[in-house]
Structure 1
């Protein structure tokens, strides 16, 4: 089929509308508008513009953000990958090597050392891999070329500049994950601002170099999201008693009292004796065969505030359980 000149113009204009504009950030109107609206980044506007001028968009990270494991795997595949023998073994070593700091944090926040270790293991392999992506490049790309979460990542970009200014960092040199997270615990900039704490007493919060700050910050994050010391993590259920309408598709902090789960025949442990009014939700975890069901309470929910995935929260608790019971 022959396309007329007017047809070509329509086609080209259509592509310009739907395709991202990978132009240099300092030449883009949307970036200029964003800069005008943000005068509180610590650095001068001209300095921020200069940093962005040194940065190129990285379109390859967008598919990474889009393709969450839950969209193409089942839990059993994800769990096998995340809850590995090597990660558990390294977690046990991490607990031994950092026992004094983990004990202090546990006393202050109630968060178990094994949970902190499990999160550090999943997020950065216990600090061995905190990400090699240039954080400014990641955040600028997602802030201006990922429409679905533009507002979120523009907030992260603004906070990243403030963080670099306060820490005396060159924004063009900082590295982290493909989502713009940094440190052993992989904190996004707003989480760094809101939940990071000084764990080594040097009057400075440094998630880039201080293991103690990272440990204390992970614990503080969970504590601020209502971690309950001593409360059960995950509870086994009688799958035959489960009714589909009882299953929660997403994490929430409402739930049903353990005493009622026991009355329904779902709870198989004696946890209701000690925690009769503690609220738990029933969650399903997909496998190649029949789904697995578990009850998760306030602590399970707290971990889903760190990462909203149900699978992530279960992986953390499975690793922590294995670390705590070698």
Structure 2
């Protein structure tokens, strides 16, 4: 306090003699009206209720219970470029492929080995991929989120941060997710104020959004009800079904290491399709990259670039299955972390050490 008063030129004695009226008045922000009392929300309620065959009164009642969460828009707002850090694959990997998740993954796999094997047989998705997803998403159910889904989705549906570069598109997306969330609760007769999830409204061991749950979640334990938070079997089966529905090819590798030909390397052409598989092995080789051990690969491939902070980027060759993992989270870093975590857990169960995928840097060549 002394240093502060000295800085503003007021001694402690003088400060004590200041009249009370000189003290700044504390102002409290006006309370936010319940969502159900906002004109924009009322219009949305009428339209959503009509589309889904819900009672408009019931929908309005639910939104009257929803609370604005100020931290949620902040978490959705991209960091300013001046303060954002360059992507770094090694740093990203170390957050997820680490001892705590590997040990928890071994316990999870051992405990649910029969269910994982049944999901692999049913949907063709390896147990290691399912284990990798659930480990990256929630550390096998340890961190599924503690925010009410009704609050997060209402906040994002009606108070999405306008500073976001795709604010209108994202707000429309979350309005759709809120509508689906309420429609599911209406149909099943459940209380939408009960489920907890992430700051984006995802729930359960696999962090499904409401629309994903509606389309791809399955009752894998056969109890007549889908419960992604409390039924591990439902979560495992739903993750596997999601991958099958998004193009997983049973028996296909996830990625290959690239072998570069500096004389013919054409990175701009190879990277133009981004992570979508677009090149046959022969076409990729003609552009200066041969997939190691993948010259006879039966499908299309993509060259995946991974940034390494201030160091040169490195690369792997992704298959259709690598691309399918990115349909769960649209990030090549995420997909490779899921794959590596699953491999590390599988190796730990067998008492061996998994060799990490080591993306390779490109040599200097004629690429402009």
Aligned to 1:16: none
Query: How many Å apart are 1:61 and its aligned residue?
Result: 0.8
Give the counterpart of 1:51 among 62, 68, 76. Answer: 62
Contact 1:235-1:267 within 8 A present in 2 as well? no
Equivalent in the alignment of 2:76: 65
- Asked whether the equivalents of residues 248 and 282 of structure 1 are also in contact (C-alpha less than 8 Å), the reply is no
Match of 1:212 in 2: 233
The whole-number CA distance in structure 2 between the counterparts of 1:22 and 1:284 is: 46
Contact 1:249 1:283 in 2 (8 A): no
Instruction: Tell me how far apart the structure 2 counterparts of residues 77 and 240 of structure 1 sit (CA, whole Å).
Output: 28
- SS of the residue corresponding to residue 249 of structure 2 reads coil
Partner of 1:243: 266
What is the TM-score normalised by the length of structure 1? 0.86
Q: CA deviation at 1:63?
A: 2.3
Structure 1 gap segments, 5+ residues each: 1-20
Number of the residue aligned with 1:86: 100
Deviation at 1:54?
A: 1.5
Matched, 1:233 2:254: yes
Residue 52 of structure 1 and its aligned partner are, at CA, apart by: 1.1
Structure 1 segment 83-122 matched on structure 2, within 5 A: 83-122=97-136
Question: SS of the counterpart of 2:301?
Answer: strand
CA separation of 1:156 and 1:197: change in aligned 2, threshold 3 A: same
Structure 2 unmatched ranges of 5 or more: 1-30, 349-368
Q: State the SS of the aligned residue for 2:140.
A: coil
Deviation at 1:134, TM superposition (A): 0.7
Report what 2:37 is aligned to.
27
Question: Kindly tell me: are residues 185 and 220 of structure 1, through their superposed partners in 2, closer, same or farther at Cα, counting changes over 3 Å?
Answer: same
TM-score (norm 2): 0.77
Q: Provide, for residues 71-98 of structure 1, a one-character-per-residue CA deviation record: whole Å limited to 9, x for no partner.
A: 6342222111122122122222222211
Structure 2 CA distance for aligned equivalents of residues 248 and 123 of structure 1: 29
Q: Secondary structure at the match of 2:308?
A: coil
Aligned-pair Cα RMSD in Å: 2.1
Q: Quick check: 204-213 or 82-91, which moved more?
A: 82-91
Give the paired residue count: 302
The 1-side partners of 2:32 and 2:313 are apart by 43
- Contact map agreement 1:131 1:175 (CA 8 A) in 2: yes
Q: Secondary structure of the equivalent of 2:221?
A: coil
Does the CA contact (< 8 Å) of 1:92 and 1:323 recur in 2?
yes
Q: What residue number does 2:294 align with? A: 271
Cα shift readout 1:213-243 (whole Å, capped 9, x = no counterpart):
0000000000001101111111111356453
Quote the residue 1:37 is aligned against: 47
Q: Secondary structure at the match of 1:184?
A: coil
The residue that corresponds to 1:303 in the other structure is: 325
Q: Is residue 260 from structure 1 mapped to residue 270 from structure 2 by the alignment?
A: no
CA contact (8 A) 2:204 2:235 kept: yes
Q: How far apart, CA to CA, are the structure 2 residues paired with 1:190 and 1:290?
A: 39
Conserved? CA contact 2:291–2:317, under 8 Å: no
1:248 and 1:281 in contact (8 A); partners too: no
Structure number with higher helix proportion: 1
Residue matched to 2:243: 222
Residue 66 of structure 1: how far off its partner (Å): 3.0
